[in-house]
Amino acid sequence: MFSSFRLSMTWVHTWFGLVLGYVLMACFFFGSLSVFDREIDRWAIPETRYEPQPMPSFDKLLLPIFKAIEPRQESYDEAQKEVHGPLPPREKMVAGEFGAYTTHRDPVLSMFSSFDVPNKPKNPNVDHVHVFGGVTIDPRDGTAISDDKLKIGSRFFYPLHYSLHLHWLDLGYWIVGFAALIMLVALVTGVVMHRKIFREFFTFRPKKQTQRSVLDLHNLTGVVALPFHFFFAFTGLVIFAGIYLPVTGPMFKAQAEAHEKIEEERTGLPHDPAGVAAPLASVDAMVVEARRRWAERDMAGEVGFLGVTHYGDANGYVSVYRAGTDRVTLTGQGIHFRASTGEVILEDPQPSTVAGIDDWLTGLHLQHFRHWLLRWFYVLGGLAGCVCIATGFIFFVEKRKRQHARSGSAGVRVVDALAVAAVTGMLVATVTMLVANRLLPPELPARGDWEERIFWLAWLLALLHAGWRSAPMARAQRSPAWRAQCLALAVLCVAAPLLNWITTGDHLFKTLSKGYWPVAGLDLVLLLSAGIAVLVARRLRHGEAAEGVEQENPEASHA
């Protein structure tokens, strides 16, 4: 089929990258935004614009809030479909598990409760079904943050980069997983294609013809960030390996149950409740003891996760995990206490080699540790991936548009329209969501749902606009949709900080003078993006004019 192995690798790189590049573009871009997801949350929810807080008192503040949490209606409805018979009323369900989680970047505290369901599951492979509830609070006084106000960064952009918000049969996870696998293939085949790979570090000719310039930029961003791209595609697959290969549950149920019993005997942490009521000792005292033990090991730190399992039961226990801000893994050094007495049951031992490697890879991918410079390198690496994919699209179109125009084929026109939607359209939709966040009334019911709808609608309109303005591609000319959407992006990127100022009073000079970087940083990035979008639009306008001159007088253009 091909005259050489290198040509076959070129075909694989081109077509696999083209087909799944649209998914990878979203993964890289929203993955980059997720590096600062908590900061985006604070921009989007002005009442959370205060400094990160430590874990508050469980006995005085958290326990009454936990007891007041009710099951979420959607979780209750979903559980009803999975069990035989009607569920108990929501208000009479009893929580068997509590949890609270925070990080060094979180001003708010996320709390959740798991409610036991007595009904028998319909699926014979499932032992029991739970209903979940949760609330986000201001840890300074326990004030609840409305669930109608969407955490755009951590609850929308972050899951979008690994699930695409396609939850039916975990379809989004599978699509992204397949795209990550293809990303690894594209990286390997790209290395095979470019035999003089070292030269790509230093080759970029922006004043050459478009096809040459974008290929240089494609190669440059691909080579410079090659280790980054490979690592994140690989670790993304590792993190979700349990979805792709669910060996612990459906595939080996008996072995999984046996392992749970062995773990219960080894750790002393009961897997099931005893069915005997028991009081809850002071959790605050357990936290003090956990901190003392961490300090003895020269690991003094704050609490990152606090959980109560089998609440109100004789088998209940409390788990206190240290926030892992000074290490790669997320949380660790867990200390587990008997809930009824406060005595220590277990201090987590050092993980095995395999578990330690898995924890390290997961922690390095998610990057919850405290290192701001490295966090920015993550963003730059992700954006380099976006540039690499976008220039791959443009090179594909530039290489074939004249041939397709002569033959009357619409293939390049379709690819270009999809590329516009995947690149500028995605950016327009993202900033439109931020603008909508500042324009929608604060007390609008289901406000977060409206923000999500506006995001998807803006992206759909960008796709339709790209298809509508793609007619010049039939004449081998550049689509004006690129320039138009760059200008729209520039306007939106200026509008968002202005609206933030008007609606909250937190203008850029105020946030900069106070050093409040979560808001000042996002405003600055938006304004910088507006400037870049204007420069790109001007460059595109000159390119469109040059193409028009070339088609009118081809001989003069080559002189």
* Share of residues in the chain with pLDDT > 70 (%): 92
Q: What is the mean pLDDT of residues 116-127?
A: 82
Q: Looking at the whole model, is its pTM more than 0.95?
A: no
Residue written as token pair 């609206």: 499
**Residue whose C-alpha is closest to residue 185's, from 236, 244, 234:** 234
Taking the alpha carbons of 386, 366, 109, 325 in that order, is the dihedral positive or negative?
negative
Higher pLDDT, 246 or 59: 59
Give the mean pLDDT of 175-181.
94
Give CA separation, 236 vs 163, 180, 229, 484, in Å: 11, 7, 11, 35
Find the farthest-apart pair of alpha carbons in the chain and give their distance in angstroms, rounded: 91
Per-residue pLDDT at 556? 47
Structure confidence at residue 358 as a pLDDT band (50, 70, 90): confident
Report pLDDT for 303: 92
Q: Token digits for 120?
A: 């028998």
User: Token pair 């004019």 is at which residue?
Assistant: 545
Tens digit of each residue's pLDDT (9 = 90 or more) over 142-161: 999 887 888 999 999 999 99
Which helix (H) or strand (E) covers residue 134, if one does?
strand 130-137
Answer for the pair 487, 558: CB distance below 8 angstroms, yes or no.
no
pLDDT at 500 > cutoff 80: yes
Q: What is the DSSP string of 143-210?
A: PEEPTTS--IIIIIIHHHHHHTT--GGGHHHHHHHHHHHHHHHHHHHHHHH-TTGGGGGG---TTS-H
Asked if the model's pLDDT at residue 522 lies above 70, the reply is: yes
Lowest mean pLDDT among 10-14, 237-241, 338-342: 10-14
* Confidence at residue 146, expressed as pLDDT on a 0 to 100 scale: 84
Span 428-440, average pLDDT: 97
- Rounded to an integer, the average pLDDT of 385-395 is 91
What is the mean pLDDT of the segment spanning 259-265? Answer: 77
Average pLDDT, stretch 329-354?
87
Per-residue pLDDT tens digits for 28-60: 999 999 999 999 999 999 999 999 999 999 999
Residue 135: beta bridge partners? 111
Using one digit for the tens of pLDDT, what is the confidence trace for 529-545?
Answer: 999 999 999 988 887 77
Helix (H, G, I), strand (E, B) or coil at 466: helix
Q: What is the chain's percent helix, strand, coil content, to nearest 5?
A: 65, 10, 25
CA distances from 554 to 236, 395, 401, 406, 480 (A): 49, 21, 16, 16, 21
Per-residue pLDDT tens over the stretch 188-213: 888 777 666 656 555 656 666 667 67
Asked whether the predicted pLDDT for residue 248 surpasses 90, the reply is no
- pLDDT at 158 (0 to 100): 96
Q: Which of 221, 161, 151, 150 is nearest to 33 (CA)?
A: 161
d(CA 327, CA 320): 17
pLDDT at 277 over 60: yes
Under the banding of pLDDT at 50, 70 and 90, the label for residue 333 is confident
Q: Mean pLDDT across the stretch 305-327? A: 91
Mean pLDDT of 106-122: 90
pLDDT digits (tens, 9 = 90+) for 72-103: 989 999 989 888 889 888 888 889 899 999 98
Mean pLDDT of the chain: 88
Q: For residue 119, give the DSSP letter.
A: S
User: In the prediction, which pLDDT does 330 show?
Assistant: 66
- How far apart are the C-alpha atoms of 423 and 400, rounded to whole Å? 19
What does each C-alpha distance from 37 to 34, 47, 413 come to in angstroms?
4, 16, 35
The answer on pLDDT for 252 being more than 80 is no
User: How far is the C-alpha of 273 from the C-alpha of 262, rounded, in Å?
Assistant: 16
Q: What are phi and psi of 351, to 5 degrees?
A: -65, 160
| pLDDT given at position 65 | 95
Nearest-angstrom CA–CA distance, 506 and 499:
10
Residue 80 vs residues 83, 120, 132, 273, 409: alpha-carbon distances, Å: 6, 11, 13, 23, 52
Give ∠ CA 192-196-202 in degrees, rounded to 5.
125
The mean per-residue pLDDT over the stretch 299-320 comes to 92
List of residues 6+ apart from 54 with CB closer than 8 A: 102, 139, 302, 303
For the chain, domain boundaries: 410-549
For residue 365, give the H/E element and its range. Answer: helix 353-366
Overall average pLDDT of the 241-249 stretch: 76
Q: Does 374 have pLDDT greater than 50? A: yes
Query: What number is the average pLDDT over the span 415-437?
Result: 96
Cβ neighbours around 279 below 10 Å, total: 10
Q: In 236-315, where do the E strands start and end?
A: 303-309
Question: Residue 320: what are its φ and ψ, rounded to 5°?
Answer: -120, 120
pLDDT above 60 for 255: yes
Cβ-contact 18, 497 below 8 angstroms: no
Residue 60 tokens, joined: 């005085």
Report the C-alpha dihedral over residues 243, 249, 250, 252, rounded to 10 degrees.
120
Amino acid 200: pLDDT? 59
Encoded amino acid at 246, one letter: P
Query: At residue 418, does pLDDT exceed 70?
Result: yes
**DSSP type of residue 330:** S
Q: Tokens representing 487?
A: 């200008």
